[in-house]
Amino acid sequence: MIRSRETPSVVAAILDWPPTALMARLALVSAYLLGAVVKATDFPGAVAEQAHFGMSPPAFWAVLTIAVEIVGPLLILTRRWLWLGAGMLGAFTLLAAIKANAFWAMPTGHDRFMAMNAFVEHIGLIGGFALVALLDRRERAA
């Protein structure tokens, strides 16, 4: 049992290792980058997805989604206007969660439970975007 308030040396070494921050940011945005690649390589599928969720016109929303899923991660990964990338992906994630995982409008059961879990997971991602922007701001201010 660790009694000290100090970070264990092995954990500190990992956290202080320069590539760790980049790898953490990459992990945070990886699903969005993958989503952009999948949508860009199957644009008719991306349009169909937008139509499925009632977005009109679906081609416009497919292009906008691809753009957000490319630009947001690049801003976070490069730390150039990281706050903007985090805000873009946070807002996008919230809107997508509300549109795709409206568990409150579903009858009780397995599907509602799964939608609620997905919604809460998306809220966790939004928290991750807020934290990455906060940590970047603090590091730049120090």
Least Cα distance to 76 among 132, 139, 126 occurs for 132
Domain locations along the chain: 20-141
Tens of pLDDT, residue by residue over 52-110, are 999 999 999 999 999 999 999 999 999 999 999 999 999 999 999 999 999 999 999 99
pLDDT above 90: residue 1: no
Contacts 24+ apart (CB under 8 A), 88-96: 89/29, 89/32, 89/125, 89/129, 90/125, 90/126, 90/129, 90/130, 92/65, 92/68, 93/122, 93/125, 93/126, 93/129, 94/122, 94/123, 94/126, 96/122
83: CB partners within 8 A, 6+ apart? 133, 136, 137
Categorize the per-residue pLDDT at 5 as very low, low, confident or very high, splitting at 50, 70 and 90.
confident
pLDDT above 70: residue 2: no
Cα 66–Cα 25–Cα 36 angle in degrees, nearest 5 = 15
Categorize the per-residue pLDDT at 36 as very low, low, confident or very high, splitting at 50, 70 and 90.
very high
pTM for this one? Answer: 0.90
Q: What is the mean pLDDT of the segment spanning 29-53?
A: 98
